[in-house]
Amino acid sequence: MARTLIRRIAFGVIAVLGVAVLAFLLEFVVPGDPARAIAPRAQSAAVLENIRIQLHLNRPLIIQFLDYFGELFRGNLGTSYVQRQSVTSLILPRLATTGYLALAGVIAEVIIGGTLGIASTLYARLRAAVAAVNLTLLALPQFVVGLVLLLIFGFRLHMAPVTGGAGLAEIVLPALTLGLVGAPWYAQIVADQLADSLASAYVRTAVAKGLPDRYILWRHVMRNVLSPAITMIGMDLGAYLSGVVTVEVVFGWPGIGLLAVDSLQNLDRPVVMGTVIVGAIAVVFFNLVADVLRMYIDPRTMQDPA
């Protein structure tokens, strides 16, 4: 168990580093001059050159690379080109804001998807209806669902704020958007697992033992259903924390996704790098948490591959 964990963490560190290196190189492939982005109206070449010198942009790529990663290993993500403050101090509050949304979105996904999946498995009459709902939701992109919700509940019914922000009232629609768009995946996995489990030999054993139906469902079936769902929750939390860009843009949710988009447009390389690295760490971290949780729920996954 401990060995598995250490190996997983080591792989995680390698993955994050790989992502960082790739992102760094990509930034130099993207056309554009950060100096022009910072001083768009500056006409004189001397001013632009001065900015480049200040930001060390005129040095060879390899030197810039070593500089950046040297600082990174000291925990320093650098300073924003545009906002003149440290990337860490820009990202951390945004990370928390996105964190609320990610959590609320995953909860919505699990509730909506789980309900759909359970309903379609246990009640044969609902199967076709649930399949239709699933297919519709799968076909809709996030921004369409988000805009439709905003239109109906925000502009028509005035039940939700439309001005953006990160309060309790503002979280409902973006979380619902994430929930609706992600629900079909959960519905499918829950329905499949539930059907497998209900048809399994161990459930027949439980029936043969004369255990009550409800007891069998919760004690024998649900734990087997939960295990793959947890892996998906971990993946979603990581992915959402690395930026739910569309939803944040549609609803004006001041999270890390919005920051990433802004800084990409401004060619604010240190901030872009920061959001990418933080996102990669989030993905690795939540996958790891999901795996550890799974080991407790399904002890078969605890075995070290010899």
> In a 10 Å sphere around its CB, with 0-12 CB exposed, 13-18 middle and 19+ buried, how is residue 295 labelled?
middle
Alpha helical stretches, state H, 30-86: 34-38, 45-54, 61-73
State which amino acid sits at residue 191. A
Greatest alpha-carbon pair distance for the chain in Å reads: 86
Q: How many residues bind another protein (CB under 8 A)?
A: 23
Rounded Cα–Cα distance for residues 23 and 291 (Å): 27
Interacting residues with another protein between 50 and 89 (CB under 8 A): none
Q: Applying CB under 8 A, which of residues 154, 200, 235, 285 lies at the interface with another protein?
A: 200
The answer to whether residues 256 and 243 touch, using CB atoms and an 8 Å cutoff, is: yes
- Binding flag, residue 293, another protein (CB under 8 A): no
Q: How far is CA 8 from the centre of its chain?
A: 20
Cβ at position 208, least distance to another protein in Å: 4
Cβ at position 220, least distance to another protein in Å: 5
Q: Applying CB under 8 A, which of residues 31, 40, 60, 299 lies at the interface with another protein?
A: 299
- Binding flag, residue 123, another protein (CB under 8 A): no
When the beta carbons of 46 and 208 are compared against another protein, the nearer one is: 208
Backbone angles phi and psi of 276, in degrees to 5: -65, -45
Cβ at position 196, least distance to another protein in Å: 11
Interacting residues with another protein between 201 and 240 (CB under 8 A): 201-202, 204-212, 215, 219-220, 223-224, 227
Cβ at position 89, least distance to another protein in Å: 45
The answer to whether residues 294 and 231 touch, using CB atoms and an 8 Å cutoff, is: yes
Residue that has been written with the tokens 């906002």 in this structure = 83
- Binding flag, residue 300, another protein (CB under 8 A): yes
Q: Tokens standing for 78?
A: 């650098």
Cβ at position 223, least distance to another protein in Å: 5
When the beta carbons of 94 and 220 are compared against another protein, the nearer one is: 220
Cβ at position 292, least distance to another protein in Å: 16
Rounded Cα–Cα distance for residues 254 and 164 (Å): 8
Q: Residue numbers of the site for another protein (CB under 8 A)?
A: 200-202, 204-212, 215, 219-220, 223-224, 227, 297-300, 303
